[in-house]
């Protein structure tokens, strides 16, 4: 264990108060990634530059996180002051965890002009409360398509975190650490932020310009730029699929060359790979939204519901209608 120590860095005199709201099935890693940088900032300065209160809307003050661990909150939903920062901690089953009690409380406190943030899927809660209009936001990449279907007019970006007009969003996992390091740097300067990162053994601090996911070549394990460009085209055109011949033309090769490229590196045809991408999106929409199966089919580029059902069953060994029965917004 590192020795208790403090280092002389210039910090603001004011103590910033964070109020963490734990929702049922919240992500423990996102919560820990947010609260630990604050603790370490206090430790490194030798004084309380940050304080926090852990709250919930559950009557017994106990919340179960997504891995089954039981966490005791300090208090129920509190009254907050205009200088406080509220952080909603989400995880799996976010729709079921977004109660009218939470939404009403959030709207009421937002009128004070407070800073409000969401970790992991909690961006959904802030959006549902109507508090993200005219602001950039982000959410875990796995929930992106479902979020856009419900909130098509919001400015959702594929970044690790966003900070925009008193709204903070972290995409999930360790992205909360990057968000907090950015806030610490804004509050007290980069020296303290870097010291905290060193304590966390966090050697690569990401900014609000960094993308969430690994690059396509890294994800597929192939460093072929033409292949990566074609896959990027596919991923951004799932609702209106582009034909293999058009993809090949845009990549500056023949259709046969494109076929060989996919079979060499991915052991499947471009058509099959494209189909798998569309079906993965369809599965996310079925599990995370209330969209009808017909509308899910259309959103994934299937003109015929029967063709969609046939392809879905062939790939996942279950019909889209039965899949809908196990719905969970993760």
Please check whether residues 183 and 228 belong to one and the same domain.
no
| Averaged pLDDT, 175-199 | 95
The pLDDT of residue 1 is above 60: no
Task: State the residue for tokens 């208790």.
Answer: 4
Please check whether residues 194 and 258 belong to one and the same domain.
no
**Residues of the chain with pLDDT > 70: what percent?**
95
CATH label of the domain that carries residue 224: 1.10.10.60
Please check whether residues 226 and 160 belong to one and the same domain.
no
Which two three-digit tokens encode residue 44?
A: 């490194």
Number of domains the chain contains: 2
Please check whether residues 285 and 220 belong to one and the same domain.
yes
Pair type for strands 136-137 and 155-156 = parallel
Higher-pLDDT residue of 62 and 221 is 62
Please check whether residues 150 and 264 belong to one and the same domain.
no
Please check whether residues 32 and 158 belong to one and the same domain.
yes
This prediction has a pTM of 0.80
Please check whether residues 142 and 284 belong to one and the same domain.
no
Please check whether residues 231 and 109 belong to one and the same domain.
no
| Domain of 249, in residue numbers | 216-324
Cα separation of 177 and 161, whole Å?
10
Please check whether residues 24 and 128 belong to one and the same domain.
yes
**Taking all residues of the chain, what is their mean pLDDT, rounded to a whole number?**
91
Which two three-digit tokens encode residue 219?
A: 């994800």
Please check whether residues 124 and 35 belong to one and the same domain.
yes
Residue 329 lies in a domain: no
The pLDDT of residue 327 is above 60: no
Q: How many residues does the chain have?
A: 330
Residue 142 lies in a domain: yes
Higher-pLDDT residue of 213 and 68 is 68
Three-state secondary-structure class, residue 51: strand
At residue 328 the predicted structure's pLDDT band, cuts being 50, 70 and 90, is very low
CA distance readout (Å), 146 to 76, 141, 287, 288: 30, 10, 9, 6
Cα separation of 33 and 51, whole Å?
15
Higher-pLDDT residue of 44 and 8 is 44
Q: Which of 94, 160, 152, 93 is nearest to 126 (CA)?
A: 94
Cα separation of 132 and 123, whole Å?
9
Cα separation of 250 and 239, whole Å?
19
Please check whether residues 223 and 297 belong to one and the same domain.
yes
Pair type for strands 85-89 and 115-119 = parallel
At residue 113 the predicted structure's pLDDT band, cuts being 50, 70 and 90, is very high
| Averaged pLDDT, 93-120 | 95
């Amino acid at each position: 264990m590192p020795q208790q120590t403090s280092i002389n860095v210039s910090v603001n005199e004011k103590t910033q108060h964070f109020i963490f709201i734990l929702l049922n099935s919240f992500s423990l890693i996102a919560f820990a990634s947010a609260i630990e940088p604050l603790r370490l900032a206090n430790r490194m300065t030798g004084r309380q530059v940050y304080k926090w209160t852990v709250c919930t809307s559950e009557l017994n003050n106990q919340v179960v996180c997504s891995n089954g661990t039981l966490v005791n909150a300090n208090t129920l939903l509190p009254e907050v002051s205009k200088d406080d920062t509220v952080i909603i901690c989400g995880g799996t089953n976010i729709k079921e965890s977004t109660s009218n009690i939470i939404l009403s409380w959030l709207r009421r406190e937002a009128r004070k002009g407070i800073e409000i943030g969401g970790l992991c899927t909690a961006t959904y809660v802030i959006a549902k409360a109507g508090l993200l209009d005219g602001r950039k936001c982000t959410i875990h990449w796995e929930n992106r398509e479902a979020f856009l279907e419900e909130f098509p007019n919001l400015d959702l970006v594929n970044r690790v975190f966003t900070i925009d007009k008193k709204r903070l969003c972290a995409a999930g996992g360790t992205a909360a650490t990057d968000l907090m390091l950015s806030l610490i740097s804004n509050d007290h300067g980069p020296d303290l932020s870097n010291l905290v990162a060193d304590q966390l053994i966090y050697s690569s601090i990401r900014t609000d310009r960094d993308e969430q996911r690994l690059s396509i070549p890294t994800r597929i394990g192939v460093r072929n730029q033409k292949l990566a460009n074609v896959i990027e085209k596919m991923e951004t055109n799932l609702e209106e699929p582009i034909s293999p011949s058009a993809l090949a033309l845009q990549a500056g090769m023949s259709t046969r060359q494109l076929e060989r490229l996919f079979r060499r590196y991915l052991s499947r045809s471009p058509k099959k790979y494209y189909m798998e991408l569309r079906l993965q999106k369809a599965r996310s929409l079925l599990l995370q939204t209330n969209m009808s199966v017909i509308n899910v089919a259309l959103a994934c580029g299937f003109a015929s519901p029967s063709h969609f059902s046939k392809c879905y069953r062939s790939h996942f060994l279950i019909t889209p209608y039965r899949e809908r029965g196990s719905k969970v917004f993760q």
